[in-house]
Amino acid sequence: MSKGARRYWKAAVAAVAIGTTIAMTGCSGGSGAGADGKVTLEFSQWWAPELPDGALQGIVDDFEKSHKDITVKLISGPYASTQDQTFTAAASGTMADVVGLDGAWVSDLHKQGALANLTDLMKSSDYDDSQLAAQVKQDGSTYMIPVVNFVYPLFVNEDLLKKAGVSEVPSTRTEFKAAADKISKLGGQTKGWVIPLSTENPNGIQNDLMSWAWASGGSMLKDGQPDLTNSSVKSATEFVKSLYDAKDVTPGALTLQETDKVTEFTNGRVGMMIDSLSHIDAIKKASPDLKFTVASIPAEDGYSGKRGIPYASWGIGVSDQSEHKEQAFEFVKYLMSKTVNSKLSTEANAFPGNTQSTPDLSDADPLYQKAFDIYKAGTPVNEFTGLPTADQLMRTFDEQFQKALEGQQSVDQALQNAQTEWKSKF
C-alpha cells in the first residue's frame, strides 16, 4: 500500500489475513451536507472486518433511523491498512470525520493537529463523561475514547501440542521454551511460536515482546520515563531472542506483520501465538477444524504475583478537519451509550467502554469466558498508550532488536541504544 497522499484509494486486502476480501475506499474528509441539509459522515476503522458480518453496519443503520439528518459511510479495512491510511490522510487533510484509533497513534496525530478536542465537544454537548471507563488524553484534554477493550492472551494449538508430546499448556517461560522446541521438531513448516517484527507496522514490540515483561510484573517505564535497561525488559528480550536463535520461530519474522501471524496460526503451522481476543471468531470461521485454547502469557519461573496481560482498545476520535464535528460527536455518543456499547462489546467479545454496559456472553464461545477470567485474574497493561510518538518508539526498539537478532550487537547494546533514542522523544 503506497504511503503517498491520495484522496481516494482502493485495494483488495485480506481481512485479518485469513481470506476475507475487503474493498477499502479512501477518506476524503467528509462528504459535507446535501441540498436537503442532510450530513454524511465518513467513519474509517478496522472494526467491521473483525466483527460478525454486517454487525457494524447494523449499528450504523440503527443510528441513522434515530438521526434522520445524518448518514454514516463506513470505510473498512484491516488494522495495518487503516493505520497507514489514517496517518496519510491526516498529513494530507483528508481524514474521515470519525476515526477508529489505537491509543498508540494518539500522540502523533495530536501533534499534527489532526484530532478534535473531545473534552470541548463533550462540554458543548453537555455530555456526562463519568460513564466512560477510560479516556486517552494529551495536554490535559481527551482526544480518544476507548469504545471496547480486548485482551491479548496466549493462543495454543492443542492438536500440535498433543502431537509434540506436550501434556500441559505452558505456564512458565521454561515450559514455553520446551513446548516450542518440541513443536518445532515436528518438522515441515511447523514452528512453536510466531512473532511479527516488521518495522513498517511495529506493534509486535508491544504485543509480542514487551508483553513477556508485563506478564511477570515488569515495566519499560520508571517515573514516566524510558527504562529499557532494567532486568525485566532485558530478561524478556533475551527470552524472545533465545526462541529466535533456537529456530522455534516462524521464518521471516523480521518482515512479518500481525495479520501474517494470524494466518500462520489459522493454517495450523504455529503452535502458539499472542493475539487479540477479537480474532477467535475469525479463526474458527476460517479453520473450523482447528482445535485451540487460550491461556495467560507464561511468566518467569518462580513469579507468583498478578500477571500483566496486554490489551488494546478500539478507540474513537473526531477529525479536527471535519466540517461536522457536532454531528460526528453525536455518533460517538451513540456508540458509547449504555445499550449500544453493550451490543457492540457483545458482538466484538470485548469489555465495554461504558461502565454501565455489560456484554452478553450467554451464547458466546466458552473461550471468551476463559479469556475474561484470565483478564479478571490479572492486570491489564499497555504502557505504549498515549506515549509520545508511540509507534516510532516501537519501531526504534524493533530496529535495535533486529540488529541483536542478526548478531550485529548484544542485547545490552540494543537496549541501551533504544533507551537513548527513546529519551530524546520524551
Are 58 and 137 part of one and the same domain?
yes
Q: What is the mean pLDDT of residues 15-36?
A: 45
Query: How far is CA 388 from each of CA 180, 191, 229, 337, 401, rounded to the nearest angstrom?
Result: 35, 35, 19, 30, 20
Q: What's the pLDDT score for residue 11?
A: 32
30 pLDDT band (50/70/90 cuts)? low
Residue 73 has pLDDT above 80, yes or no: yes
For the ranges 28-42, 110-124, 225-239, 371-385, which has the lowest average pLDDT? 28-42
Mean pLDDT score, 300-329: 95
Residues 6+ apart with CB under 8 A from 83: 102, 105, 201, 391
Same domain, 181 and 87: no
pTM of the entire predicted model: 0.75
Confidence check: pLDDT of 16 > 50? no
CA distance 74 to 43: 5
For residue 369, give Cα distances in angstroms to 190, 289, 344, 408: 29, 21, 17, 44
Please report whether residue 338 resides in a domain: yes
Residue from 159, 135, 158 nearest 145 by CA: 135
Per-residue pLDDT at 381 exceeds 60? yes
pLDDT number for residue 35:
58
Q: What is the Cα–Cα distance from 86 to 413, expressed in whole angstroms? A: 34
Residue 9 scores a pLDDT above 50: no
In a domain, 293, yes or no: no
> Burial level of 124, CB count in 10 A (0-12/13-18/19+)?
exposed
pLDDT classification of 250: cutoffs 50, 70, 90? very high
Q: Are residues 255 and 396 in the same domain?
A: yes
Predicted local confidence at residue 360, as pLDDT: 86
Q: Which domain holds residue 403?
A: 154-274+388-423
Q: What is the length of the chain? A: 426
Is the pLDDT confidence value at 202 over 50?
yes
- Residue 143: phi, psi to the nearest 5? -125, -10
Question: Is 382 contained in some domain?
Answer: no
23: confidence class by pLDDT, cuts 50, 70, 90:
very low
Do 186 and 267 sit in the same domain of this protein?
yes
Mean pLDDT of 63-78: 97
pLDDT at residue 34 in the model:
62
Task: Confirm if 318 and 332 have CB atoms less than 8 A apart.
Answer: yes
Average pLDDT, integer, range 365-389: 86
Nearest to 250 by CA among 268, 226, 234: 268
pLDDT in the model for residue 374: 87
The answer to whether position 356 is within a domain reads yes
pLDDT at 12 (0 to 100)? 30
Please tell me whether residues 49 and 144 are part of one structural domain.
yes
If asked whether residues 130 and 195 sit together in one domain, one would say no
Q: Does 144 lie in the same domain as 158?
A: no
Provide the percentage of residues in the chain whose pLDDT is more than 90. 75
225 and 257 fall within a common domain = yes
Helices (H) and strands (E) in the chain, counts: 17, 17
Asked if residue 229 and residue 353 are part of one domain, the reply reads no
Q: Which of 249, 257, 205 is closest to 1 using CA atoms? A: 257
Where does the pLDDT of residue 1 fall: very low under 50, low under 70, confident under 90, or very high at 90 and above? very low
**CATH code: domain of residue 115:** 3.40.190.10
* Distance of alpha carbon 54 from alpha carbon 36, whole angstroms: 28
Q: Is residue 221 part of a domain?
A: yes
Distance CA 88, CA 90 (A): 5
- Give the cell for residue 148: 471496547
Average pLDDT, integer, range 57-81? 96
Of the candidates 349, 359, 340, 315, which has an alpha carbon nearest to the alpha carbon of residue 62? 340
Q: For residue 126, is pLDDT > 50?
A: yes
Residue 6 lies in a domain: no
Best mean pLDDT range from 78-82, 376-380, 392-396: 392-396
Q: Is the pLDDT of residue 32 over 80?
A: no
Q: Which of 45-49, 158-162, 297-301, 378-382 has the lowest mean pLDDT?
A: 378-382
Per-residue HEC secondary structure of 137-205 comes to EECCEEEEEEEEEEECCEEEEHHHHHHCCCCCCCCEHHHHHHHHHHHHCCCCCCEEECCCCCCCCCCHH
Instruction: Write the Ramachandran bin of 290: left for phi over 0, alpha for psi from -120 to 50, otherwise beta.
Output: beta
CA distance 77 to 17: 11
In-domain check, residue 288:
no
CA 210 to chain centre: 14
Q: How many domains does the chain have?
A: 2
State how far the Cα of 237 lies from the Cα of 231, in Å rounded to an integer.
Answer: 10
In terms of domains, do 394 and 269 share one? yes
Sign for the pseudo-dihedral over CA of 343, 347, 352, 353: negative
Residue 176: per-residue pLDDT: 98
Residue 53 reports pLDDT greater than 80: yes
Q: What rounded mean pLDDT belongs to the chain?
A: 90
Where is pLDDT greater, at 327 or 360? 327
264 and 409 assigned to the same domain = yes
Domain presence at residue 294: no
Q: What are phi and psi of 137, to 5 degrees?
A: -115, 155
pLDDT of 33: 63
Residue type, 358: T
| Same structural domain, 222 and 158 | yes
